[in-house]
Structure 1
Amino acid sequence: MDLPPDTELTLEELRQFFHEDDRTIINEAIESARADGESFDIEMRVITASGRTRWVQIRGEAADDGMSVRGAVRDISNRKEREERLMVLNGVLRHNLQNNLNIVSGYARELRRDLDAVDLPTEKGDYDQLAETVTNLSETTSGIDAELRALDEIVTAASQFSVEAMVSKTDRIIENADDLMSTGEKARRFENVVEESTDKQPVRVDDVLSDIKRTYERRYPDATIRLRAGEQTVLASAHSLSLALDELVQNAIVHNDEDDPVVTVASRRISGERVEITVEDNGPGIPQTEREILERGKETPLSHGSGMGLWTVSWFVTQFDGEVSIVDRAGGGSTVEVRLPTPEH
């Protein structure tokens, strides 16, 4: 609670830190201990002296006088955050894996049925040539009716055989496999850097944004990426901040439906203790479901993989004591605003 470890508080002094949504839980536990002498062990949220939300474990019991309650408070925020990460990642990966494998399996079965139905070369030219042969034989020969009927059945089957449909189904299989791999890669990247997100230090925003700009200019040469960043410094983890801003820039480019996608990344100091980083695009805007992921962050349950990247953005920004918001642009597109504390915070 941003207090020295050996701090002793009275019950009334402790109450001021209880999260308003959890006060009923602790009050009932205290009253039960007083009335029945039952000990309690609960997990709840508190608001620290600096305004941060933390998870704590409170163990208590009734004192000998039957009226007082004594106990201890332990910060368990790191464990709760690990549990939350595991729950979200497991849910996303399990759902995405099942969903995509169902799609892949369905299209694979359709392809198998298409192939089983036709015992022919798959080149369209072969079918055209075969059809021409049947026509010529029909005009010049009357003694091979059985052969002609057999050839006619083959050509009819071939006309129903769509190479284009097979290609389309194959493309869907590849698309879903790629999506599954992308979700898994995002989950791995998140887990690889999440532990260091608590190790905050001064980070130059313009250095991070410059690296991202160079990366995406090479990866997407048709996109225009503008950088307007001053020499602002925020208190964060360099690797985690880079991952979060990288995700925002990537989303702004790959989901842009304009012929000439334009993304502008900028930073500015908005107060003595806050820096604002913006990622602006001229695309179709951000869907409502993904807005909730960014703006509500850890309170948003994820059951699919499409929001995995944005969830990591929100998670890291929250870890840095920052906020995320989205503004629609008048001329089309969206602006994602990330506000982070400075080292002087």
Structure 2
Amino acid sequence: MRSWAERRTRAAAPKAALPARPRRIFILPTGAGVAFAATVLLLLAAALNHTNNLALFLSCLLAAVGVVAAVHTHLVLGRIDVHRVQLTPVFCGEDAPCAVQVRVPGTTSLTLEACAGNGPWTPQMVQPGTAHVHAPLPTTRRGQVSWVEIGMATAAPLGLFRAWTFMRLPVHGVIYPTPWPGGCPVFPIRPMSADANAPQQSTAGDDPQDLRPYRPGDAPTRIAWKTAARSLARGGPLVVFDHSDGQGGAVLLHWDACPGQGEERIQRLTACVEAAARAQLRYGLCLPGMVIVPEKGEAQRHRCLEALALLPWEERPTR
């Protein structure tokens, strides 16, 4: 009954801007609530059968307690404010940790259940004031996540009724592509020339190999003018040539040099980015219409994986 009711009410989840408060709250008795109602009805029947005024008064009093508990459970959930939803980036197919910042009124702690998307309900004890509830979000596709369906439920204060709600809340998150299962045996670097004996040559500023952002004090002659112009047009940094590390100082992961097609190529590049990050290399990424200059660090890893996740590519069905 509970799972059927939740599936029916998910379709009614409205979009809401943050901060948000539940607008559609549903409530049903719990197992303890059904047992409580059956006990009250049995006591009421016995009181009427034996004309016992004290038992009749007790049954009416317990029935009133049940009604007040239902109203109070509804009010507890309806007064919770959601201020922020934060999604941690993960690879597609993994459960993304979703943290929901809520404000719980009152003076007593309560048990609050939360779920994200089609994930499981996760009960947590929250204290009055600002608190965080966490729920795993199952992921099935890469790309930008702009809205997430958040469910909250509680059976406070007596556990006789369970109230729940679903809301579609804005979130700024990204799901990385799934790395290629075979890993990255060879880095897909610059494509080879027609004679297949030497790397393809390019004029100054056309090839982002061995580039880095401009630093104060760099000579103007080291500026890669053509690449810098494209980078500045997209809101990127001014880039200069960096040959301090020698020929092998940086690795450029090139889209055209990667084998495969479509999602396979994206997954292979994702595995190569992970391999370069683990090896602590200076690496960059060359994608259609985008060049990420070689750098190190966690920020560079996130920048490359996000670019791969947001790459507009649709897999064509095979015939």
Counting strand residues as a fraction of each chain, which structure ranks higher?
Answer: 2
Q: Same fold (TM over 0.5)?
A: no
More helix, by proportion = 1
Kindly indicate whether structure 1 or structure 2 has the higher relative contact order, using CA contacts under 8 Å at least 6 residues apart.
2
- Normalized against structure 1, the TM-score is what? 0.23
Max radius of gyration: which structure? 1
TM-score by length of 2: 0.25
